[in-house]
Chains A and B, each alone.
Chain A
């Protein structure tokens, strides 16, 4: 009998505000340790938190983008635990009444359809500082610059049934957050962090005991960690054992997880209402104004690219991965409006492929949209064949020369003049009388041979469409 995997995800996403959640300290990444702190985020006695208005707006915007309900009144609570990177001894969070409830994210399925995955809630909270242990003997070092940076925690329903679905959800959410501009969402900088609740069961049975996997900071590790944990649980159950509910830490070096037993006892957070903060009230008008300012979302952009530019769903997907890529594509289309599909092919397959090989980002592309458009114009007016244009693009990646200059210099200008093409065809026919005889005797397959010979004789510059057409004519005799 098979096992069914059940996964729910908790994503902690740093909001990209200029200042912290409850004080006027900068959130700039990479500052000297402890230079962006104040009595509030250091937990000094008698200090009062005051919530950042932009953190509220960005959380509401995210809630609206996943079609969730916005609670016009929400509350803050204290989550109590002791750790040196949490100077107050509690984290200000939202427990009983979060600002966002309900909502969903649709992920593409293998059969080309969509699966809807529920989002339980999004609540606001503050980040802790950073502890460093490496290379230290009996001590740890603490940097509190991150203490108090605003986070939203996005909690999903246990709706995912495989590691692949979990990754699809995370990628969709990550892309959405980038489009909304509410977070840098840089996983390497810890701006988008994920914990996974994982359990297995026989199909149709109640949920099994879950474990919580922590410390996964890339999509690849998340997939590995989930797959590892699923196998570990199945093995335990099939050996007659029982899964223990616990937090487990993913070790990406050893590719295995281990129990965080020490954390278990501390998992009694004794939430209670934050007495320093009255309820957060937002008006329906404010929510409506945030909704009115919503940027175009990835799904809408994808559909628009398909209908407006006639792109395949694959190309539309590739070209809407990030706002930068989408904007680049649209500026290419603006410069070469004759053929948006050609723009898509050349950008998605040729340009992005070459940049990828060179390990470069689109922003570092040596070929601008305007320069690429110039090359596409030459393909459009038959000045250069598609095949030769790839050589031209190679050269453009290496120099600042225009497409025209490179075509000229390399002698790649396509010959579309029927007189010139006829001359080459006649040469080829004269050199291959036996094949001419054969073709005229009914061996149609020899057409390919002639096309190849003519293209070779023209060093690839002959317009293939015209070669075909003229060959048919002239071979008739």
Chain B
């Protein structure tokens, strides 16, 4: 029955049905209207505001010492957070996709937990865990270790909010690839890290890169969680988004948007990288 239908209408003769021209124009127009209000105007606004007082003011805003310190802290945080979460993502994906064990489904859903948590709560839990008013936090304080309102706090809170990014890209990818290649390598005498380095890593490098890009974007831009644990000390515990907030709340709008424009450039770069990687994924899967 199914076969007959397919024979009756060979794909070559098929005329693609689509919406009437006026419907297409109407819907594309509506979408452009939405994009204008919610994407194009906000983007244009950032640059219009950032350059309101000219180039020199713009450069001054992003080169003044507090801004530079904020940029450094954000880069440091990202440089610590992304590799840690990438290693975790690789480890979780290896355990989950290469072996069968009890509680695997539960483990998989626990990995996505941080996405369901409000950024403010993500900050709160670390204040409750290691803040100076908690037993553990005051013990650390006695030994001269300060976590909340200092750089380590910012790093842990960012670790939490970006926790799932690499793992959730790698798990479906490695599940689809199966374990045949690795098993073949074992039978041919390859050892643990050799298998990983020679077989697995080349197979998943695009997915790993994709996850790391998303992870970096979020760790550069995280605001709510970092805002709770930072204490907003200028030049010390201020990341770029927090610096933007401080300038804005001081009515220093031009400087605020100038620093924000750096984040917009990074966001646009992320979007471009993301879509070009997705295109590469599609090409790869067509080849296979």
Chains A and B form a bound pair? no
